[in-house]
Amino acid sequence: MTRKFQFVVYKITFPNGKIYVGKDIGKDGHTIRYFGSWNYALVEDDFTKEDLQDFTIRREILFEADDKVAVGQKEMALIVELGANDPERGYNRTPKFRP
């Protein structure tokens, strides 16, 4: 099987509209199973038990490269550009949000 993507930056959109931007740079490249290392407790606190019974998230690939360094740089740039580190808009906590 051939990999469809090498290393990627992705955006996850949660039902409340908040986002998380992450990267997948595993040793074997991108895998469809990887959804990041977002803070599960932080996300869960934004939803009721009823909300969590039927919970759909969307993952979009925003950037792809063969170079892990380029992917890491693009991830940080997109976190800031999309406001994913703004607690009102997203779940990323680094880089620190500066209003």
CA distance 5 to 7: 6
Q: What's the pTM? A: 0.91
Q: Tell me the C-alpha distance between 75 and 78, whole Å.
A: 5
Q: What is the pLDDT of residue 77?
A: 98
pLDDT at 55 over 60: yes
* Cα–Cα distance for residue pair 90/1, rounded to 1 Å: 35
Local confidence band at 53 (pLDDT 50, 70, 90 cut-offs): very high
